[in-house]
Amino acid sequence: MTRLDLDDLPPKIADLLEALPPGGELVLVRHGVVVGRLTSEGGAPADEPDTDLPPEVRMREVFEDFRASVEDEF
């Protein structure tokens, strides 16, 4: 899965993405041609931990995400 940090985007674009309602769709266009679509899932924000998972499973996910981001950076 590809991850995009909203802090890395210009504020206008980050605000547009953040304002998508659950189930909302954003069409990506380049030179007048549709190149992709983003659909908002809604639900809980990514910062909130999933309460259905035990803490050790959640921590494993956090460390895997961190490791993947470090590997992507270098």
pLDDT tens, residue by residue, 22-69: 888 888 888 888 888 888 876 555 555 556 767 777 777 777 777 777
Judge if pTM exceeds 0.75.
no
- Distance between CA atoms of residues 18 and 10, nearest Å: 12
- Distance between CA atoms of residues 59 and 19, nearest Å: 29
Contacts of 9 (CB under 8 A, 6+ apart): 17
Burial class (CB in 10 A: 0-12, 13-18, 19+), 9: middle
- Distance between CA atoms of residues 20 and 12, nearest Å: 13
Q: What is the pLDDT of residue 46?
A: 56
